[in-house]
Amino acid sequence: MQQDYTMLKIPMTATLLAAVEEQYQKMGTTFAEVVRSIAIRSLSLPVMPVRAEKCKARGMAREYANPALIPLEEAAMAE
């Protein structure tokens, strides 16, 4: 019996994806296989199967921010 698959889109930079793919390739697997394994394992655990760190939106957005404006934005948020 053939499985019906759905594609998962995860936003990340091309640089991050390439680095992660390279790391898992050295371990003999793929990033996609790791994500599938985490999904399967999460079904049998009462907790998250990996440690997830919360990120503030400002921290995540910093990657895409204009560096010249960061001090001005931080000052505005402090007020």
Model confidence pLDDT, tens digit, residues 47-61: 777 776 665 555 556
Residue 20: pLDDT band with limits 50, 70, 90: very high
d(Cα 29, Cα 19) in Å, to the nearest integer? 14
**Rounded mean pLDDT of the chain?**
81
pTM of the model: 0.56
- Provide the domain limits for residue 42: 14-78
If one counts the domains in the chain, the total is 1
**Structural domain includes residue 2:** no
Contact 62, 70 (CB under 8 A): yes
**Structural domain includes residue 4:** no
